[in-house]
Amino acid sequence: MAPPAAPVAISVPAGAPDLSARIVAAMAPVEPALVMLFGMPAGGLGRLGRDLCQALDDAGRGDGGCRVVGCSSAGEIGPDGYAQDTVMALGFPRASFRVGLCVLRDQAQVPVSDWMGALRRLHAEFRPDLRRSSFGVVLADALARQEDVLAATLDAAIPGLPVIGASTARGIRFEQSDQMVDGHACPGAAVFLLIETDFAVAEVAFTHFSPTDRRAVVTAADLHNRVILELNAEPAAQEYARLTGLDIAALTPTEFARHPLLLRTGGRHHVRAIRAVTPGGGLQLLSGIEAGNILTVGRAMDMMRGFADALDDLPRPPLMVLGFDCILRRLALERAGMTAQMSELLARYRVAGFNTYGEQHRGMHVNQTFVGMALMPPEAGQGAR
């Protein structure tokens, strides 16, 4: 039996005058069921999405047409590893992939019960083929600050489905991100993709921190805005500086990336990354926080060795790893002068994706983590239907 048609990935400079044509040339031969776009094209994601929809005959959506989904990024991951000012395009051939899509608009205003119902309807109408692999991908606008609830809701709505996700980004200034579905802008939304494939799939997750013995209790917090107001009953930034041995004036994104705060839940430590010091001396985070949480200062480990180990543990070498890597990890690698080495690893394992403001994995919203879905050849004796 012939092997299933493999996904394709192409990286094109964001300002290329023939951007659309180059992506179409790469995608059209595989007749994609889905094209994913990561980056900030000069003409905007909406225009690029419309061009691709037209060129790839998206008019037949629902009976074999191609869906085109995209978001802006804080950096891209392509054939040569880390990239900047590019557009990453990933094509998933119709012969070996099937996709369902649900747009959860206005995250801050939509009740969890409505999310749950929409996701369950999508899953029921999709009618997954149990002979094939299935997984989910969520792209959630970071400034809506709903990723913690969204990840938990997805886990509850479709139990057992492996889901990876990314908090969509725009540069490193934490500005409003762009999201697009079939050429239409979806500001403030979460886009969920349910993907079925003939390939074997496996989740990959890696973080390069271990806990130290330096702990603090969140004694006051602004839950809605994800701000720690007090640690150990002291102004949060002041106490964090004391715990890390840093001067309060030296608290920058790079230092936050080197000295993250860890929250233990589900038997594991998860990073609660710091975005900035607030004017009032608080710490604004990229994940949810509550008064009473016990946080531990993290210690950086080898930023590359564990990553390679995680991918080497896969049963077969991946044909592609759809990967989301926190921008704070990339900043830490840049500071350490290890960007080229990490790019070589990303290229070796065929990672394609982008840098994010946060990641979703196993029902959790996390930071400073790499999460990915490895697509591997099926086991011997299995192939396309």
Q: How many whole angstroms separate alpha carbon 115 and alpha carbon 93?
A: 29
pLDDT band at 208 (very low <50, low <70, confident <90, very high): confident
DSSP output for 293-346: -EEEEEEE--TTHHHHHHHHTSSS--SEEEEEEEHHHHHHHHHTT-HHHHHHHH
Residue 2 located in a structural domain = no
For 114, the 3-state DSSP assignment is helix
Q: Are residues 221 and 188 in the same domain?
A: no
> 82: exposed, middle or buried (C-beta count within 10 Å: 0-12, 13-18, 19+)?
buried
Q: How many whole angstroms separate alpha carbon 220 and alpha carbon 222?
A: 7
The total of structural domains in the chain comes to 2
Q: Are residues 308 and 296 in the same domain?
A: no
Question: What average pLDDT score do residues 357-372 get?
Answer: 91
For 127, the 3-state DSSP assignment is coil
Q: Are residues 197 and 213 in the same domain?
A: no
Q: Are residues 125 and 138 in the same domain?
A: yes
Q: What is the pLDDT of residue 60?
A: 40
Residue 1 located in a structural domain = no
pLDDT higher than threshold 70 for residue 354: yes
Instruction: Tell me the Cα Rg of the chain.
Output: 20
pLDDT band at 63 (very low <50, low <70, confident <90, very high): very low
Q: What is the pLDDT of residue 370?
A: 93
What does the pLDDT look like over 292-330, one tens digit per residue? Answer: 999 999 887 777 777 888 888 899 999 999 999 999 889
Q: Are residues 57 and 146 in the same domain?
A: yes
- Mean pLDDT is lowest, of 65-69, 143-147, 233-237, 381-385, for 381-385
For 275, the 3-state DSSP assignment is strand
Residue 165 located in a structural domain = yes
What does the pLDDT look like over 23-51, one tens digit per residue? Answer: 999 999 999 999 999 999 999 999 999 99
Share of the chain above pLDDT 70, in %: 96
Q: Are residues 201 and 155 in the same domain?
A: yes
Q: Which of 269, 300, 331 is the last residue of a domain?
A: 300
Strand spans (E) along 79-208: 81-83, 86-93, 97-104, 133-141, 163-168, 179-181, 184-185, 190-197, 200-206
Q: Are residues 254 and 281 in the same domain?
A: yes
What does the pLDDT look like over 91-105, one tens digit per residue? Answer: 999 999 999 999 998
Q: What is the pLDDT of residue 384?
A: 46
User: How many degrees, rounded to 5, is the angle at CA 194 between CA 7 and CA 37?
Assistant: 50
Q: Are residues 58 and 199 in the same domain?
A: yes
Q: What is the pLDDT of residue 58?
A: 47
Domain span at residue 252?
A: 209-300
Q: Which of 300, 329, 351 is the last residue of a domain?
A: 300
Q: What is the pLDDT of residue 381?
A: 57
CATH of the domain at 215: 2.40.30
Q: What is the pLDDT of residue 216?
A: 95
- Mean pLDDT is lowest, of 143-147, 262-266, 363-367, for 262-266
Residue 120 located in a structural domain = yes
Q: Are residues 156 and 260 in the same domain?
A: no
Q: What is the pLDDT of residue 122?
A: 97
Residue 384 located in a structural domain = no
For 193, the 3-state DSSP assignment is strand
The two three-digit tokens of residue 189, written as one number: 């939304």
Q: How many whole angstroms separate alpha carbon 254 and alpha carbon 194?
A: 35
Q: What is the pLDDT of residue 136?
A: 98
Choose from 145-154, 228-237, 361-370 the range with maximum mean pLDDT.
228-237
Residue 225 located in a structural domain = yes
Q: Are residues 185 and 255 in the same domain?
A: no
Q: What is the pLDDT of residue 59?
A: 41
Query: What's the mean per-residue pLDDT of the chain?
Result: 91
Question: What average pLDDT score do residues 19-26 get?
Answer: 97
